[in-house]
Amino acid sequence: MNKRIITAALTGNWGDKSTNPAIPMTPEEIAAAAFDAYLAGAAIVHLHMRDEEGRPTMRADLFRETMELIREKCDVVINITSSGGHSLDGMAADETRLKPFRELKPEMGSYDCGTMNWLHKTIFENNPQFLESLGRLMQETETKPELEIFDIGMIDTAKYYMAKGVLKAPCHFQFIMGAPGGMAATIPNLVYAQSQLPEGSTWSASGLSKSHIPVLLAALAMGGHVRVGLEDNVYYGHGVLAESNAQLVERAARIIKSADLEVATPAEAREMLGIMQ
């Protein structure tokens, strides 16, 4: 009960070196950031890929290369995205999003529980057919879903797919709070979201941008796990860019220890989440 899992979301679909020079873009940079985050206390690393022009992509070859580079150095839990390729131009094709899971069989992968108006600029589409296909494929590949929740209604969507057998309980939920188009990053919202989870669920939370620290503190106080990293927040403090993903992980680890809690290792995270190796 005293263990807390830190997930490091290393790079997302948005932001580049002009946003923060520390954002890793290539397989080599992402793998190095993953290893540094692991040394700082991250039990899980969440991966997005970028192509040679820096655009978000779901290319299985880039995931494979990055995963192999990480595995050469450490046993951190690797959690790959299912939403790579999302840009202002739209989403990657469903089959393109499924391909890395089918070919690489990762330990863990994101499962975004619904469609939303992302940043009030574009559609972040997760249609019912895709969600059914992804959930059943994850069961086939023994990939642990990380159910990403951007709004309260997505919890009910998750419950629907659990009842239908598309998702297998107990599930792990990741609250992503503060994304424009989703739920605001407030403590009452976090308390309510946690209260709606199915019994036996595990959960983690991340606040985007300036809500980073308040959500982290509240999640730890409520018994949850935490996610940090340059995907969610490129700043260390007001107007001060973070130096690395590891710097954000190190701060989360210090806060966990200062609360007389323990930072979970990758092996402990696998046990807590029911991840099969």
For the chain, where are the alpha helices, taking DSSP H only? 27-40, 60-71, 94-104, 128-141, 153-164, 187-195, 212-221, 245-258, 266-273
For residues 205-214, give the mean pLDDT: 96
Copy the structure tokens of residue 152.
């309260």
For residues 59-82, give the mean pLDDT: 98
User: For 152-187, what is each residue's pLDDT tens digit?
Assistant: 999 999 999 999 999 999 999 999 999 999 999 999
Global pTM reads 0.96
Q: Are 84 and 97 in contact (CB under 8 A)?
A: yes
pLDDT category of residue 193 using cuts at 50, 70 and 90: very high
User: For 95-114, what is each residue's pLDDT tens digit?
Assistant: 999 999 999 999 999 999 99
The 10 Å Cβ neighbour count of residue 115 is: 18
For residues 190-197, give the mean pLDDT: 98
Task: Round to whole Å and give the CA distance between 174 and 188.
Answer: 16
pLDDT: which is higher, 208 or 92: 208
Domain carrying residue 111: 3-273
In the chain, the number of structural domains is 1
pLDDT category of residue 119 using cuts at 50, 70 and 90: confident
Phi first, then psi, for residue 159 (nearest 5°) are: -60, -40
The 10 Å Cβ neighbour count of residue 95 is: 11
Asked if the model's pLDDT at residue 118 lies above 70, the reply is yes
List C-alpha distances in Å: 16 to 81, 160, 165: 17, 36, 38
User: For 146-161, what is each residue's pLDDT tens digit?
Assistant: 999 999 999 999 999 9
* Residue 21, domain CATH: 3.20.20.70
pLDDT at position 90 is 65
Average model confidence (pLDDT) for the chain? 96
Task: Round to whole Å and give the CA distance between 184 and 27.
Answer: 33
DSSP 76: P
